[in-house]
Structure 1
Amino acid sequence: MTGGQERLSARLDEVTVAMESLTAMLDHQELDLGQMLQAVCEHVVGVVAGADMASITLVRDGVAETVASTDQRAVNFDREQYRIGDGPCLRAAETGAPVRVGVGAVADQWPQFASAADELGVASFLAAPLTVDGDMSGAMNLFGFGEHGFSDLEVKILELYTATVVFGLRSARRYFDAQELVAQLNRALETRSVIDQAKGILMAAHRITAEEAFQRLVKRSQDGNRKLYDVAAEFVAAVSSFT
């Protein structure tokens, strides 16, 4: 094995170890999404050659924000892009393709960033897209102080990390969606319970059927232009106050 092959093998081993660590975090029952995203940023700076800073941009409902970073300077550069509405990370998020540019190309494509890049001392940029779902996209952003522009290999390595981030974000969305579904079901059960209580009181007091009791509640709801649950809850509370 040549020296170059040995170095490549060692780097791939580093990536493998990092992936195993991140996968273990994803397998944890109580996933801390913020902690996972921060860990990805720190891992990728340690593995991708020439990466001195990293950040993760998420775009939700057209609003971009930095949700993890290894350096406040990376956050500042991200915010400059958000302010202007364009730049490497936003371009990657919008097009779904990696954006790899040196400081010269940045000055040509986004002259607004030339001074910001100069102030930060950043000469190379690499952004890989994060495609989560129709409501959420983003990019993982790397910043290098050297004028290397990042190699094809570094792009591929970063894409391995973005796959992990996307998986984590999708898992989190499913988890929170499931929580919301449970909350909705609980609210539905609570609503049904209160309405059933009101029906039972009406049935006992007026010797009517369940359907007739329900229709009385519906009529009161329509007459007052109020939700059926609110009418039933008020009725049950009023009766309870006299018992």
Structure 2
Amino acid sequence: MAEQNGSGDPVTEQLVRQLDDVTGAVERLSRTLDQDEDLDVILRRVCLQAIHAIPEADLATVTMVGDGTPKTAAVSHDHAVHLDGHQYRSGQGPCLESARTKKVVRVSVTEAHQRWPAFASSAAGSGVASFLSAPLFIDEEYHGSLNLYGEKEHGFHALDAALLELYTAAAEAALRAARRYRQSLEHIGQLKEALGSRAVIDQAKGILMAVRRVDAEVAFRLLVEQSQRENVKVRELAVRFVATAVEVGG
């Protein structure tokens, strides 16, 4: 007879294994974030690691509804996108309810027929018998749900729902950090571009001031007027102007 307490308890051992699976999935996801990949690639890895974290899951997708219209941002397997699509077209289903209510949704295919008949009917024949969705919130632009699909009816248990919620919370924190990092890189790039633009524009202004014997304000106005006539950006005109001046001067 198995011990009721301690490491010999099979229930405890199973829980420890599943917690280890979730921890391992989060660690692998964290290593992915260090690779400086696009968010779409990272979201697909979220799907793949979720399947490792929840053994009963056969397919995984990420639904995003940041613009008010649901769309599938990532899938573990290409054909999984159709399961999300059935929900989008019918306007009902576990992924949409989880994204809307910000709660974990766990149902069997029988329960799905009772709660969302239009979705369940359209998804019939897909081979999926269990659904588990958890809300996924990165920021106002990126939020929705992480969705798991299983082939076994009643394949997902309350423990699976709790573990998915734990995994999703960790994934959200990691994704927010990655999102902020990439936004910072974009801002730095924009700042560098702006500084570069200002430098070349100042050079062009200096040349005009010397040639036309005008002040800085008039020189800049001349550049703006010329850019409007040619329908090009002031920076592009300034680059061309400086290059021409250097060629003539050389």
- Bin of the TM-score, shorter chain as denominator length: 0.7 to 0.9
Is the contact made by 1:123 and 1:146 (CA closer than 8 Å) also made in structure 2? yes
- 2:19 is aligned to 12
Match status 1:215 vs 2:218? yes
Say how many residue pairs are matched.
239
- 1:236 is aligned to 242
Change (3 A) 1:106 1:193: same
Structure 2 portions without partners, runs of 5+: 1-5
Change (3 A) 1:23 1:180: closer
Within 2, Cα distance between the matches of 1:162 and 1:94?
16
- 2:88 is aligned to 82
Deviations 1:78-102 (A, max 9, x none): 1222233332112212222222222
Stretch moving more, 119-128 or 158-167: 158-167
Q: How does 1:15-164 map to 2 (within 5 A)?
A: 15-26=22-33, 28-31=34-37, 33-148=39-154, 150-164=156-170
Q: TM-score, normalised by structure 2?
A: 0.80
Given residue 5 of structure 1, which amino acid in structure 2 is its aligned partner? T
Q: How does 1:174-185 map to 2 (within 5 A)?
A: 174-185=180-191
Within 2, Cα distance between the matches of 1:37 and 1:221?
44
Change (3 A) 1:20 1:183: closer
Is the contact made by 2:29 and 2:171 (CA closer than 8 Å) also made in structure 1? no
Following TM superposition, by how much is the alpha carbon of 1:174 offset from its aligned partner in structure 2, in angstroms? 1.7
Deviations 1:191-216 (A, max 9, x none): 212221122212322445xxx13323
Given residue 45 of structure 1, which amino acid in structure 2 is its aligned partner? I
Following TM superposition, by how much is the alpha carbon of 1:122 offset from its aligned partner in structure 2, in angstroms? 1.9
Partner secondary structure for residue 194 of structure 1: helix
Match status 1:173 vs 2:176? no
Stretch moving more, 100-109 or 35-44: 35-44
Following TM superposition, by how much is the alpha carbon of 1:108 offset from its aligned partner in structure 2, in angstroms? 2.7
Change (3 A) 1:172 1:65: farther
Deviations 1:53-93 (A, max 9, x none): 22222234234332333333422111222233332112212
Is the contact made by 1:54 and 1:142 (CA closer than 8 Å) also made in structure 2? yes
Within 1, Cα distance between the matches of 2:177 and 2:63?
18
Following TM superposition, by how much is the alpha carbon of 1:129 offset from its aligned partner in structure 2, in angstroms? 0.7
Pick aligned residue for 1:201 from 195, 207, 210? 207
Change (3 A) 1:192 1:158: same
Within 2, Cα distance between the matches of 1:140 and 1:225?
49
Given residue 13 of structure 1, which amino acid in structure 2 is its aligned partner? D
Following TM superposition, by how much is the alpha carbon of 1:168 offset from its aligned partner in structure 2, in angstroms? 3.5
Is the contact made by 1:66 and 1:75 (CA closer than 8 Å) also made in structure 2? yes
Is the contact made by 1:40 and 1:161 (CA closer than 8 Å) also made in structure 2? no
Given residue 217 of structure 2, which amino acid in structure 1 is its aligned partner? F
Partner secondary structure for residue 100 of structure 1: strand
Q: Aligned-pair RMSD on alpha carbons?
A: 2.8
Is the contact made by 1:45 and 1:52 (CA closer than 8 Å) also made in structure 2? yes
Stretch moving more, 173-182 or 226-235: 226-235
Is the contact made by 2:29 and 2:49 (CA closer than 8 Å) also made in structure 1? no
Q: Percent identity among equivalent residues?
A: 44
